[in-house]
Amino acid sequence: MNTLAPVIETLTVLIAEDSAADRLLLSTIVRRQGHAVLTASNGEEAVRVFTRERPQLVLMDALMPVMDGFEAARQIKQLAGEELVPIIFLTSLSESEALARCLDAGGDDFLPKPYNQVILAAKINAMDRLRRLQATVLHQRDLIARHHDYLLQEQRVAKAVFDKVAHSGCLNAAPNIRYLQSPYALFNGDLLLAAYTPSGDMHVLLGDFTGHGLPAAVGAMPLAEVFYSMTGKGHGLAQTLREMNARLKRILPVDMFCCATLLCLSTERRVVEVWNGGMPDGYVHEVVSGRRTPLVSRHLPLGVLSAEAFDDRTEVWPMALGDRIFLLSDGVLDTADANEQLFGVERLQQVFAANRHPDHLFEEIEQALAGFRGQVRDDISMVEISLSPDQPLRSPTLVYSDSGQASPLDWSVSFEFRAETLKHYNPLPYLLQLLLEIHGLRGQSGALYSVMAEVYSNALEHGVLGLDSSLKCDARGFADYYLQRNERLAQLSSGYVRVHIQVLPTAAGGCLTLRVEDSGAGFDVEKVLALPQEVDRLSGRGLSLVRQLSSDVHWSDGGRSVCVEFCWEALA
């Protein structure tokens, strides 16, 4: 058997020893093991040699003149920094206190005199193993740190790009929206978007992608683009949802999807229309009665079903001015305390129940979460939107297809939308795009869209579908109304809505005449117009809006045909 342990790697070993004889003896032993040797005759010299040569291991005599081994060990450890330079004390001291001092001073081991070659070799090898382990750990730590920095840098870039897309909406500008979201929520898969439709309604989306990190963030970009472009063009929730679902289904892997609540809030009509696929219950909070209506998930998340199987049915709830909508991500409910207890729906309900002033609800939930956990998690998204009377009727920035050429001013066009089309297709965005080719109309695009939306839905709902608007006299009837609307639309097999558009130049500028006819039974125009305008009634708001916003409006053919005019002055 070989008395010397096999040498794995040649080391440079510093031997600090004041006795010349011992120095020589040790040097010989260590060299014979295959290592390179440096020597010093006192502590001060040892520190000097260490600084100059950076040996990998030190054999240190404890008691030396000028500077003893304890002090030299302290200084060498300090110079070595994070790198492990093992120091083995050589000592004739035997009392445990002295041996403990060697280790306290930073020594890693000690070797009693007189020297035993076999033990010395074994200790050097053992220390070398430790040294290399430490080096590996440091290397891997640095590697991880570098990767981490790289990842953060990537996230910063991705976030900067994403912010340009995602925050092109009205999330921060709208006075009636409050939200709480960590700046890097995107990388937890959370997404919050808000934008105005051409008629001044507000669309809001709170989404939650599966997973974490960049994979969770990649789907957010196409989703945001679909949301903004379709909202801006006046598409309704159903069309927007269909497009979002189809887009995500196409680009995401099978196991990825996006839970989402999408809603359309209309100050004009005092309603909210909601689609919830896979998100926790949201709430409509009635301020006067204190009642909360849950907005329940009725659908599979976006990106799961094929376009054919996708269900775009929405629910509609009435709202009064000042009422609030509250949406949250599952991070809120899954906030866990020190004992892994979840915050849960019941605690959230308690906060709702304890609320006395609706303006403070948002803070109260925040405080409840913070009090429950001690701190707020970074994957929490909450948003509160109130139905505010001063919601601006603003036009979003539309992308015009023209290149500044003169707009067409003398033309007309007619459409007939029949049953199968009425079921699935909303022609308004298309018609609006067409009309905005006329430069003079762009200033009133919001009003134009609102009027078009109103006369079209009157023609469809009261005309073709024969729904009675007096149903909408209370909240219950309101829900019935929309239920019946969906049922009758699904069963529709005949009927039409015709839209005739005529544009004529006038001396001052131009005039648009929009005539909408339907296949319904018509209505007693004089009787309806004679009704008093009750501002707070849920029904009957449409006609006064149309009269307010357009230059002229009149009915014919027993209420089956309505004609609206918009005039404009030539642009300077």
Partner 1 sequence: MSVDSAVSLDGKKLTIAVKGRFDFGSHQAFREAYERFYKVPDTYVVDLKETTYVDSSALGMLLLLRDHAGGDNADIRVINSNPDVHKILAISNFDKLFDIS
Size of the site for partner 1 (CB under 8 A): 20
- 203 vs 240: CA distance, rounded Å: 10
- What DSSP line would sit under 67-94, residue for residue? S-HHHHHHHHHHHHTTS---EEEEE---
Please state the closest distance from residue 326 (CB atom) to partner 1, in A.
17
Residue 389's Cβ-side half-sphere holds a number of Cα atoms within 13 Å equal to 5
Please state the closest distance from residue 184 (CB atom) to partner 1, in A.
18
Q: Which of 282, 244, 238 is nearest to 428 (CA)?
A: 238
Binder to partner 1 among 176, 181, 210, 469 (CB under 8 A)? 210
Please state the closest distance from residue 97 (CB atom) to partner 1, in A.
50
- What DSSP line would sit under 237-262, residue for residue? HHHHHHHHHHHHHHHS-TT--EEEEE
Asked whether position 282 contacts partner 1 by CB under 8 A, the answer is no
Residue burial 462-498, b: 16+ Cβ < 10 Å; e: rest: bbbbebebebbeebebbbebbebbeeebeebeebbbb
Residue burial 136-169, b: 16+ Cβ < 10 Å; e: rest: eeeeeeeeeeeeeeeeeeebeebbeebeebbebb
Site for partner 1 in 294-323 (CB under 8 A): 297-301, 304, 306, 309
Helices (H), 219-305: 220-232, 237-251
Q: Which is nearer to partner 1, 120 or 217 (CB)?
A: 217
Binder to partner 1 among 21, 52, 94, 255 (CB under 8 A)? 255
Q: What is the dihedral of CA 62, 68, 73, 79, to 10 degrees?
A: -160
Asked whether position 262 contacts partner 1 by CB under 8 A, the answer is no
Asked whether position 218 contacts partner 1 by CB under 8 A, the answer is no
Please state the closest distance from residue 426 (CB atom) to partner 1, in A.
25
Q: Which is nearer to partner 1, 333 or 464 (CB)?
A: 333
Instruction: Spell out the residues 6+ positions from residue 349 whose beta carbon is closer than 8 angstroms to its own.
Output: none
Phi, then psi, of 551 in degrees rounded to 5: -70, -35
> Contact at 8 Å (CB) between 277 and 301?
yes
> Contact at 8 Å (CB) between 255 and 210?
yes
Asked whether position 169 contacts partner 1 by CB under 8 A, the answer is no
Asked whether position 277 contacts partner 1 by CB under 8 A, the answer is yes
Asked whether position 105 contacts partner 1 by CB under 8 A, the answer is no
Q: Which is nearer to partner 1, 90 or 328 (CB)?
A: 328
CA Rg value for the chain: 39
Asked whether position 442 contacts partner 1 by CB under 8 A, the answer is no
Please state the closest distance from residue 254 (CB atom) to partner 1, in A.
5
Please state the closest distance from residue 306 (CB atom) to partner 1, in A.
8
Q: Which is nearer to partner 1, 95 or 308 (CB)?
A: 308
Please state the closest distance from residue 279 (CB atom) to partner 1, in A.
8
> And the tokens for 421?
């089309």
Q: Scan for tokens 């659908």, then name that residue.
A: 299
Q: Which is nearer to partner 1, 305 or 321 (CB)?
A: 305
Please state the closest distance from residue 528 (CB atom) to partner 1, in A.
41
Please state the closest distance from residue 12 (CB atom) to partner 1, in A.
46
Asked whether position 219 contacts partner 1 by CB under 8 A, the answer is no
Asked whether position 251 contacts partner 1 by CB under 8 A, the answer is no
Cα separations (Å) of 104 from 73, 75, 530, 558?
A: 10, 13, 99, 103
Binder to partner 1 among 87, 237, 256, 435 (CB under 8 A)? 256
Q: Which is nearer to partner 1, 202 or 259 (CB)?
A: 259
- 102 vs 110: CA distance, rounded Å: 7
Q: Which is nearer to partner 1, 77 or 298 (CB)?
A: 298
Cα separations (Å) of 504 from 213, 279, 410, 501?
A: 56, 50, 5, 10
- 262 vs 241: CA distance, rounded Å: 8
Q: Scan for tokens 């963030």, then name that residue.
A: 217
Binder to partner 1 among 279, 438, 448, 455 (CB under 8 A)? 279
Asked whether position 217 contacts partner 1 by CB under 8 A, the answer is no
Please state the closest distance from residue 296 (CB atom) to partner 1, in A.
9
Please state the closest distance from residue 375 (CB atom) to partner 1, in A.
21
Identify which range of 6-14, 53-61, 92-100, 205-213 contacts partner 1 by CB under 8 A.
Answer: 205-213
Q: Which is nearer to partner 1, 91 or 188 (CB)?
A: 188
Residue type at 152 in one-letter notation: L
Q: Which of 115, 45, 46 is nearest to 85 (CA)?
A: 46
Binder to partner 1 among 280, 429, 463, 542 (CB under 8 A)? 280
Q: Scan for tokens 């009635």, then name that residue.
A: 286
Identify which range of 3-11, 142-150, 203-211, 442-450 contacts partner 1 by CB under 8 A.
Answer: 203-211
Please state the closest distance from residue 277 (CB atom) to partner 1, in A.
7
Q: Which helix (H) or strand (E) holds 411?
A: strand 411-418
Instruction: Spell out the residues 6+ positions from residue 467 whose beta carbon is closer than 8 angstroms to its own.
Output: 461, 481, 484, 485, 488
Q: Which is nearer to partner 1, 169 or 277 (CB)?
A: 277
Asked whether position 278 contacts partner 1 by CB under 8 A, the answer is yes
Phi, then psi, of 10 in degrees rounded to 5: -75, 125
Q: Which is nearer to partner 1, 198 or 280 (CB)?
A: 280
Asked whether position 207 contacts partner 1 by CB under 8 A, the answer is no
Q: Which is nearer to partner 1, 261 or 388 (CB)?
A: 261
Q: Which is nearer to partner 1, 254 or 353 (CB)?
A: 254
Asked whether position 346 contacts partner 1 by CB under 8 A, the answer is no
Interacting residues toward partner 1 by CB under 8 A: 208, 210-211, 254-257, 259, 277-280, 297-301, 304, 306, 309
